[in-house]
Chain A
């Protein structure tokens, strides 16, 4: 089976940097993805790591360490619109279906 653990809530102020951690336990692992979901909306893809290291996409970066079964999403120059839920997700043994963590609610204040 698979399970992913991430903090339930994180708060920060505009302009700050925040890191959302994710640890996983899987019987098979292909890669770690990150998704953003605003209230009432659908999850949208942010980033994917198949290999160890850092992937950067604008203000967002994602990191993976396979040896530690750990990854994180780094959000820089926070804006109010970044207030949302963030999910880490892993691919299962077949490399297709995504299993999601419970999500981290990020609240950005001014």
Chain B
């Protein structure tokens, strides 16, 4: 398996634009997580899905953020409208579930909002 695949790797956009980040989890994994990493706040859990169903989105900072998982092999994180304070590295991770602890991270999307 190629691991968790995220796209794009880098995104530069202007304030007010819509941004869509994409993630393909490892095949067979039941859980998917979106994290945001900044120097100030570290790795923050935004939302996680179990069997394609959102379980906890309490980490989503504002209504400008939304996430979907239409099937087991694809998820999106959308920011609309984007703001400069959204600049961060966004990681997607998947986990086998069933009591296994390890999560496998994608390489991340570095988002810069100017």
Contact = CB atoms under 8 A, between A and B. Distances in A.
User: A and B from one assembly?
Assistant: yes
Contacts of B91: 42-43
B31 interface: yes
B95 interface: yes
Interface stretch (B20-28, B61-69, B74-82, B99-107): B99-107
Given A43-B105, A50-B101, A97 B56 contact: yes
Nearest to B42: A102
Contacts of A102: 42
Interface string A13-54: 000000000000000000101000000011111001010000
A99 to B, nearest CB: 6
Contacts of A100: 35, 42-43, 45
| Interface size bracket, B side | 20 to 34
- Main secondary structure, interface of B, reads strand
B12 interface: no
Given A31-B101, A42-B91, A45-B102, A99 B42 contact: no
Contact of B45 (A44, A48, A99, A103): A99
Contacts of B55: 94, 96-97
Given A43-B93, A96-B95, 4 more contacts: A33-B101, A33-B102, A45-B101, A45-B103
Interface of B: 31, 33, 35, 42-43, 45, 48, 50, 55-56, 91, 93, 95, 97, 99, 101-108
The 8 closest A-B pairs by CB, nearest first: A45-B102, A42-B105, A48-B101, A100-B43, A102-B42, A97-B48, A43-B105, A96-B31
